[in-house]
Amino acid sequence: NAGVTQTPKFRILKIGQSMTLQCTQDMNHNYMYWYRQDPGMGLKLIYYSVGAGITDKGEVPNGYNVSRSTTEDFPLRLELAAPSQTSVYFCASSFDRVDGYTFGSGTRLTVV
Amino acid sequence: LAKTTQPISMDSYEGQEVNITCSHNNIATNDYITWYQQFPSQGPRFIIQGYKTKVTNEVASLFIPADRKSSTLSLPRVSLSDTAVYYCLVGGFNTDKLIFGTGTRLQVFP
């Protein structure tokens, strides 16, 4: 099993550009999450999903959008990149609310 | 969501036992306590989870007193490779999401 796969691993964006961070899991997990982590800081929850077709905001959703059309995929969309969105983005999944999270290896995004 | 409080950092030497305590005074009846470990440039990794008393696995032990208002992650005989950030989280069947705090940065010295 691949677990949680995130692409790309690295990306440099110019201010105002858009991009989609991809996240795929092959564990048939119902719950999926997007976190961001700024240097030396903890993780902040951006969006999460409890199942296909259902998404909800986390702590820091502004500037991002998500969709969950399948159980496996949970892409994160940045519409107008800003320097404040420079961060490492982690996708995670879990089978249910109590199950431990499995994290991907992260996407390091720089906005210049 | 129950708020957690952990020490910002801890230092230890190889071979010592390390205990990291987390406070969660407003833990709910249905909440579990989960600990994650994060190495630099990697996503967090699940270490251990418990509801009450003591839980032990091949990596660590988790001690939870009867009032459940705190918990202690115990790492036996740490090595340099245990240098990482450790996060304590509280959540359960009434919680759709987990909020990570700043964690405890453990530095192990030779």
Please tell me what DSSP assigns to residue A100: P
Instruction: Say which amino acid occupies B42.
Output: Q
- A33 exposure class (CB count in 10 Å sphere: 0-12, 13-18, 19+): buried
Question: What distance in Å separates the CA atoms of residue B95 and residue B102, rounded to the nearest whole number?
Answer: 20
Contacts of B101 in chain A (CB under 8 A): 42
A56–B contact, CB cutoff 8 A: yes
Read off the pLDDT of each residue in B73-94 and give the average, rounded to a whole number. Answer: 92
The pLDDT, as a whole number, for residue B94 is: 67
pLDDT at residue B97 tops 90: no
DSSP lists the bridge partners of residue A5 as: A24
Nearest-Cα residue of chain B relative to residue A34: B97
- Give the pLDDT band (50/70/90) at residue B99: confident
- The dihedral over CA atoms of A87, A88, A92, A97, expressed in degrees to the nearest 10, equals -40
pLDDT tens per residue, range B26-46: 898 888 999 999 998 899 999
pLDDT tens per residue, range A13-49: 999 999 999 999 999 999 999 999 998 888 999 999 9
Sign, Cα dihedral of B108, B23, B42, A100: positive
> Which of A66, A28, A62 has its CA nearest to residue A49?
A66
Decide if B49 and A100 are in contact by the 8 Å CB cutoff: yes
Decide if A98 and B92 are in contact by the 8 Å CB cutoff: yes
Contacts of A40 (CB under 8 A, 6+ apart): none
A101–B contact, CB cutoff 8 A: yes
Backbone φ, ψ for residue A67 (5° rounding): -145, 155
Sign, Cα dihedral of A82, A57, B84, B6: positive
pLDDT tens per residue, range A63-85: 999 999 999 999 999 989 999 99
Nearest-Cα residue of chain B relative to residue A5: B43
Backbone φ, ψ for residue A70 (5° rounding): -135, 165
* C-alpha distance from B13 to closest chain A C-alpha (Å): 23
The pLDDT, as a whole number, for residue A40 is: 84
Contacts of B109 (CB under 8 A, 6+ apart): B11, B12, B13, B14
Decide if A48 and B97 are in contact by the 8 Å CB cutoff: yes
Helix (H, G, I), strand (E, B) or coil at B88: strand
Element counts in chain A: helices (H) and strands (E)? 0, 11
Higher pLDDT, B100 or A107: A107
pLDDT at residue B96 tops 80: no
Residue in this structure with the two tokens 């906005």, named with its chain if needed = A111
Contacts of A31 (CB under 8 A, 6+ apart): A48, A49, A50, A51, A93, A94, A95, A96, A97, A99, B96
- Give the pLDDT band (50/70/90) at residue B86: very high
- Give the pLDDT band (50/70/90) at residue B67: very high
